[in-house]
Amino acid sequence: MVSQEPVAITGMGVFLPGASTVDQYWRNLVAGTDAVTDVPPHRRDPAFHGHDGAAPDRTHGRRGGFTADTLDFDPIAHGVPPTSLDGTEPDQLTALAVAVTAVEDAGGLGRLGHPERIGVVLGRGGYLSPGLQGFDQRVRTVRQITRTVGELLPAAGQDVLDRLRAALLEPLGEFRPETAAGLVPNLAAARVANRLDLGGPAYTVDAACASSLVAVDQAIGELARGRCDVVLAGGAHQTQDDTLWALFTQLGALSPSQRISPLSRAADGMLIGEGTAIVVLKRLADARRDGDRVYAVIRGSGTSSDGRGASLLSPSVAGQTLALRRAWAGLDLAEIGLLEAHGTATPAGDAAELTTVADVFGQASGPRSVIGSVKSMIGHTLPTAGVAGLVKVALALHHGVLPPTLNCADPNPLLDKTRFRVLAEAEPWGDLPRVAAVNAFGFGGVNAHVVLEAGDPAPKRRVRVDEPERVLRLAAATPEALLEQLEKPGEGAGPCRLGIVGPDERKLATARRVLAKVAAEGRSWHGGGDIWCTTDPLLPAAKTAFLYPGLEADAEPRLDDVARHFGLDRPQWSTVTVPARATSVSSTGLLLDHALRRLGIRPDALAGHSAGEWTAMQAAGMYRAEPDLLEKYWPGGFELPEADYLVLGCAAARVTELLPGDLVISHENAAQQTIVCGPPDVVAEFAVTCRGLGIVARTLPFRSGFHTPLMEPHLAPFARLVADLDLLAPAVPVWSATTTRPYPAAAADVRRLYLDHLLRPVRFRQLTEALHDAGFRAFVQVGAGQLGSFVTDTLGERRHLVVAAASGTRSGLAQLRRVATALWTEGGDPDFAALEPRRIRLNTGKPLLSLGESARGLLDTAAPPELPAGVPDAIVAEFTALLTETRRSAADVVAAAARRRTESTVDVSLAAMPYLRDHRFFRQRDDWPDEDDFRPVVPATTLVDLACRAVERTWPGTKAVTVRDAVFSRWLIASPAQRVPLSLSREGDRVTVEIGPYALLTVEVGVFAPPPSPAGVPGPETAPPLSAAEIYERREMFHGPAYQGLARLTGLGEQHIRGELVVPPAPGGLLDNVGQLLGCWLMATRSDGLLAFPRSIGKLTWYGPEPPPGTRVTCQARVRLPRPDVLEMDAELVRDGRVLASVEGWRDVRFPCDRAAHRVYAFPAENLLSERREDGSVAVTDRWPTVAARDIYAGVYLSAEERAEFAAVPPRQQRGWLLRQIAAKDAVRARLAEPVYPAEIRVHDDGTVSGRHRELPGHAVTVELTGETAIAHHRSTP
């Protein structure tokens, strides 16, 4: 046990199954989101997963908790060579990324104190990880295979073995020296300390499943002993290696049912998860002193070992009890409100833990506390499990909400002997004590327990919009051509430029008026309505100046996202004292300076206002400020004159006429703004005088006396400071607001001017004039405040551009997007791509070593024919080699010929195609047990992808480049699972593919053809009515995340639609999103026939390889309506300005569906197909003339059992049968006070109604069918 003072959790970060952020993790916890899934296809080995597991090279396991394959992380910003990423252990990257997030969540490194007193302790297991797995294949497996082959075939010879070795190494790629560091296990913690420049201890601990909570215990010890002031503690586990699964299978710990049910009577074992989570720990007193946000407070921590238990792998109640009692020493056990159990769901583990809990906490004498386990949602994340539970509990305390536990409808009977209960749904914390605890028990008998209590109440967080705004940039030779571009966007060039941030219909309309005004008056438009426009750009002929604000800004600029995006420390903002204000302004300016340069925006000169001049000097590299200046040069306190500043709205000449003798002009900011300084009472009196003369007068909220002779008595510390500065020549000229010229070159002159700057007035108006005279026209305000307005006030009608890089009301990246747009419009060339999110793909390992193509036929051992005796050895060798090559070629030809027609089957199931959970036609309750009722359907585009990949596998070395005449005859449904015939018939370069009775298409193999030029926009357009995010939120498109690729809808015309797509992870997902874009056009332009599904594709041509998931492309679809029930399009995909693919003759079949019916399809629990009538009855009229259309609404309203009954009804009676069911169910739903899905209601032949997988009050209905209308009356059950 650690005897400790309270420790605060001030920051947190996670990368866990289903959640890459703390906010998402909390949403999942409260909603009870099940993030356990089937093994992703690219990580699943059919020869290993899903078997009986009797042998160690098999496992029955096929489900677990898997993190995303991509990580929001900029390797360059964090000093990780991009070339080393492929081989680096993923936990090193996730640990660094999550640590950065946790630190940012705690307020940034600047808020954590001296870096030398910040440590890192991470729990990490010794399991085989992806990086070492690949390295072992390279070092050992290749050598073993070649040696074994040499032993089996001694005649192979060294040449064959060398070729075999090369073929085995080929798929592993190049190994770079920088990759080696990414394989050292303990560097998961060391890399964090290295990249964040932390000087405290940095190490990993391995305590099996208790590792991360033991790491927290170690961190508490570092704080308690005073060796650290802050510690980052947590765990990292990013591997699902076959050896790990096999190990837990052999131990009998893996769930046979493939369902993890902690604390449940049905618990039969664990499912393995992965993930990384880190918390920032700080002594509570220090956190309170520094004004930190405190999620929760750790009051106790205890660890133990089982000692000589029953066995190394059997949990010991005595050992667990020891850890709990150590943690609770001096605390009241009865005060617990929530216990996060270790809860592995193994029968022995749960039984031992519940026995321990009963022994330690006893039974309840009042309201029962809550016990739970997050493993039910994310699986057992092994070394990370403890901290995953700790973050859950800290968030629960912080928000005052008790999260649920999944899969525990029938709790373990041992719970009855405890004071705890399990929740099925989240509840408010209520009157239970705001105290919680976390268990983590590891194999081998290592136990850890942590006790927490509530910290600060949860503040309201700013809502972050993940989707960045789009920027529309248009260029043309003339204003008229630019207007044409605006109406019909396309490629263009010329001096006339228009930039719009977030172009919606309103902004586009404004832009038309702006363009007309600019064309008529010849004056540029700068920023009004987020629009910039010019016909005569200032750049690159003119120069650009960065201007750094002084102390006048009070509002903190919003820069969290900028710091996070560029991997920089977030500046701390404080206006409590003058030094704190100066530090805040300076650090903000330096952060923005860095960000602007990353955008390719580089100044020709720097200047500052007041203290901003020091920021400019630092940005230019003239000196670097030390962190302890106050202690070093002002040990007795920072003293300044008691002098107020008065801002006056008039010219300096007018002020001079009125100025009393005790006041001096300190700043001449602009033509109509002057600041005076002096004793507070004189300033107050002069303010009254000025206001009486109609002059605006305002006193600034701080005192300093800077830029006046009042500073003379306080100059000595500044003189010592500047004398000690190691001055360097500026990388960019810095202009002085004291002399209105560039800083001198000599160090002595710089030091003299530094001090003069404190004594003499700021002449910013004259500086602005001088910069303009020197050719500067673009002025970027690098910080918050009103500095840019001084430039505008001074220059008046003279041509110039002013734009601020920070805002107090808009996010930092959004404001930088406006800076880039403004400068581009005026002829600059900023790098807009630098503002886009950065993601890397994690190395998840390669389960088995595969052979390169060069190894085919390598070990063919057929003996060559005998040659006559006496033939020279050289001829024998040449003849033998020729025969070998001929034999290999002949074998290839024969094998290819044998495969002209192949027959096989495809496993169509959610196990084989888990992404189909995101392509369910029908919506049901989230925990609905019958997957058939969701109807997961294989999309037409996934069938196309399946066909192409099957062709490429059957004829290795070929590439599918074109698909022709694809016809989709019926929906291929994946639940219940089925095996579907797959037939391939090849003639030359064309392969006919038949996928059962579901699809027929022709795949052409060959090389990619040269792409055509991108097509222009086909006609006038407006902004689409909904954003891409709203399309999915409103279920205009029913697709889930694996098929969600609509990023932005950029233009909507009468016969076209344009958008930006991000390649989703599901096979065929990119083409599916082309179809979704067509669906968006349909939803935006029509009021009926809103459901449409692909029937055929005339031709699909790829001009390059299909890009990987996460790639951004643009798409333009040209739409036709040849018949009311048919929707056609031609489409074009463009990547980086180059046509990637074209689609010709895509045809959808439309189904009758108006807006009201579509709401029922999208949200069936909340909407009725029937109309409510005045007498309380409901009526539904048949609007579905075809069998296929009727099947859609049968799927919405009927369960699988009911659909079977429906199918058995004679065809002529089916319409009436379905109408009666719909009306009856709607009559009941109209009376219920809560949303109910139609499938949750069962209507019996006698008109009584019961619930299906839910409780319903007694209901009965009578239904009458009149023609095409069914009317249902509700009647209470007797």
User: Known catalytic residues?
Assistant: 209, 342, 380
**Local structure of 1154: helix, strand or coil:** coil
Residue 72: both structure tokens together: 């929001």
**Cα–Cα–Cα angle for 315, 317, 322, nearest 5°?**
115
Of 115, 112, 175, 168, the residue nearest 145 (C-alpha) = 168
Q: Which residue has the tokens 């030390």?
A: 626
Measured from the Cβ of residue 754, the count of other Cβ atoms closer than 10 Å reads 24
CA angle 8, 13, 17 (to 5 degrees): 130
Distance, in Å, from the CA atom of 543 to the CA atom of 605, rounded to the nearest integer, reads: 8
Alpha-carbon distances of 714 from 635, 641, 702, 756, rounded to whole Å: 14, 8, 17, 13
SS (H, E, C) 67-116: CCCEEECCCCCCCCCHHHCCCCCHHHHHHHHHHHHHHHHCCCHHHCCCHH
What's phi and psi for 936, nearest 5 deg? -70, 125
Whether the Cβ atoms of residue 327 and residue 301 lie closer than 8 Å to each other: yes
**C-alpha closest to that of 1132 among 1048, 1062, 1071:** 1071
The residues near 1244 (Cβ < 8 Å, ≥ 6 apart) are 1250
- Write the burial class of residue 1118 (CB in 10 Å: 0-12 exposed, 13-18 middle, 19+ buried): middle
Edge-first strand order for the sheet with 664-670 is 664-670, 673-678, 644-648, 697-699
Burial of 575 per CB tally in 10 Å (0-12, 13-18, 19+): middle
| CA count, 13 A, side-chain hemisphere, 1155 | 6
CA distances (Å), origin 528, targets 376, 547, 818, 822, 1029:
52, 21, 11, 11, 26
Give all strands (DSSP E) within 445-569, no chain letters.
Answer: 446-454, 471-476, 496-501, 525-526, 531-534, 543-548
Length of the chain: 1278
CA dist 638 and 768 (Å) reads 32
Kind plus residue range of the DSSP H or E element containing 689: helix 680-692
For residues 1019 and 937, give the distance between their C-alpha atoms in angstroms, rounded to a whole number: 35
Q: How far apart are the C-alpha atoms of 1153 and 1159, rounded to whole Å?
A: 9
Distance CA 276, CA 12 (A): 11
Per the CB < 8 A criterion, the answer to whether 498 and 532 are in contact is yes
Q: Which residue has the tokens 């492309």?
A: 1113
Select from 200, 226, 286 the least CA-distant residue to 9. Answer: 286
CA-based max dimension of the chain: 125
Contact 794, 737 (CB under 8 A): no
Report the DSSP pairing between strands 435-442 and 338-340.
parallel
Question: In degrees rounded to 5, what are phi and psi of residue 858?
Answer: -65, -35
Q: How far apart (Å, rounded) are the C-alpha atoms in residues 1262 and 1260?
A: 7
Yes or no: say if 1230 and 1168 are a contact pair by the CB < 8 Å rule.
Answer: yes
Please tell me whether residue 1037 adopts helix, strand or coil conformation.
coil
